[in-house]
Chain A
Amino acid sequence: MSLLELEQLKLRHGLLEAVRDLTLSIEEGETVALVGANGAGKTTLLRAIAGAHRPSAGRIGFDGADITRVPAYRRVQMGIALVPEGRRLFPALTVEENLLVAAQRRRPGRWSVDTVIEAFPMLARLRGQRAATLSGGEQQAAAIGRALMTNPRLLLLDEVSLGLAPLAVEDVYRSLDNVIAEGATVILVEQDLTRAAAVADRVVCMLEGRLVLEGAGSELTREQITEAYFGLRAKPEVQA
């Protein structure tokens, strides 16, 4: 049985259908890269999995249980953690407080303030600093660390490289490699296709709310992904 099962998921933004009839399964231990142009529905999908966006139709199953109606904070306790787009640290709280606040209801596991700082050494000297004063890369590290504090089974990462200097991105992915190596299930949204294909077992491409391509990172060619990303392949139902 898959860890995460999405069935015919429909997500709306007001009157706009952001995600349509999406069906997808994620196995435990997999790393899945979710790619697609802006507006394809990736962030909305991750938020729906995390519980921040109520589906208008469809079903979300986690570890066999139907969590479609389960509120976000409960899903954290079940083991789903989202690192939101834009980091979204609590600005007036210190780094340590940001980590601690996520640990209120955490699941048993190896992540604690100390182990998180071990995994992201740049945070060591930033413990007592207010989150708003951190640089982009530091914030990203703290945000991932905050999600890890809940000891998640499923880690959702939304655009962790967005707005970061290349060196910072390197750092983030290096730390991420360790996390992934330990067997976590990860869905990451990533604009950088090379990186996505490199780190992921499977690549899923979305376009205008639909799933248009799916396959192992090693099997899909760069060309295939690009075509799907931009919707360049002629779709049968539209005649010029």
Chain B
Amino acid sequence: MTWVNDVIQGIMLGGFYGMLACGLALMFGLMRIINLAHGDIAVLGAYLIYVVLQHWNTSPFVAILPVLPVMLLLGYLLQRLLLERSLRSGLLVPLLTTFGLSIVIQNLLQQGFSPDVRSLGAQAGSVATASWQITSQLSISAIGALTLGVAIVIFGGLQLFLSRTGPGRQMRATAQDPDTAELVGINSKAVYARATAIAVAIAAIGGMFLAIRSDFYPYSGPTYLIFAFEAVVIGGLGGSLWATLLGGIVLGIAQTIGGQINPEYPVLAGHIVFLLVLLSPRGGLVNLRRVSA
């Protein structure tokens, strides 16, 4: 029965990873950019929530409301000022630019907030610690269920946006053929900027959950970037958005089961599953063709 519990825990952890991966997948699917600063952006979101909570005694779920528009703006600026330029110069430059950005963010955070480890779990209230005992071996934590639920809402919302709305349609068209998109009147630069803004905002939500579930410090970013990327690849680069959530869940399950085998193994287990997926001929769960980035 503990295996069932592990799988359930893994699924909920996977919801968290999927949420972290969502923005990464969006940017990659649209622009073929891997934002190496994505994890640090999530951590930045967590720190911004922390700042709000310094001035306003409330829960992180409320504190994120003013943070979201800030993150949307930051994402928009990130695209227009930095990434837009690097898009023109081939594949190396975006990787190098975002890597440099990652270092800058981490160290600015370190400078501004000290290297202390923090957590927002306390301010989240009982949600952070409550759980439902289903059977003697199976319990579901409130935060886990909430994370998974929010992840599903985010993915669903984004999918609806892409398939039913005008701007979403423009985004899909631009992803498929940016050159022709311009020829039918789509301002591809604006589309990219919107996408990055959305990706950054979703990263902030991921950061909020990150800060509640565990602790964070200025250099936490890269760890979560790796998990997010592993989730995207396991789901299948270039697949649908939902594939990314699925990838996150597989990763979550792999880590949880790995942790059962030995408490020192969870992250390594995830890496192994990732490398195995990379090795497999299909290169991903849902992907049917190798995507050369």
Contact = CB atoms under 8 A, between A and B. Distances in A.
- Indicate yes or no for A touching B, C-beta below 8 A: yes
Contact of B184 (A74, A91, A92, A146): A146
B169 interface: yes
Contacts of A52: 179, 182-183
B131 interface: no
A104 B186 CA distance: 8
B180 A90 contact: yes
A224 B186 CA distance: 41
A145 B37 CA distance: 42
B175 to A, nearest CB: 9
A147 B172 contact: no
A52 B181 CA distance: 11
Contacts of A71: 182, 187
A50 B183 contact: yes
B130 to A, nearest CB: 43
A50 B182 CA distance: 9
Interface residues of A, number: 29
The secondary-structure label for the interface of chain B is helix
Interface string B170-200: 1011001101111111111000000000000
Interface in A77-130: 77, 81-82, 84, 88, 90-93, 97-98, 100-102, 104-106
How many B residues are at the interface, by size bracket? Answer: 10 to 19
Contacts of B179: 52, 88
A73 B172 contact: no
A97 B174 CA distance: 13
Contacts of B184: 76, 81, 101-102, 146-147, 149-150
Given A93-B169, A101-B169, A77 B177 contact: no
B185 A92 contact: no
A72 interface: yes
B166 interface: yes
A72 B174 CA distance: 14
B183 A92 contact: no
A102 B172 contact: no
Contacts of A102: 184-185
A157 B166 CA distance: 26
A98 B169 CA distance: 9
Given A100-B166, A104-B166, A77 B185 contact: yes
Contacts of A88: 177, 179-180, 183
A76 B172 contact: no
- The 3 A-B pairs of least Cβ separation, nearest first, read A76-B185, A102-B184, A72-B182
Given A73-B183, A92-B172, 10 more contacts: A71-B187, A73-B182, A88-B177, A90-B176, A92-B176, A97-B172, A100-B169, A104-B169, A104-B186, A106-B185
Interface of A: 50-52, 71-74, 76-77, 81-82, 84, 88, 90-93, 97-98, 100-102, 104-106, 146-147, 149-150
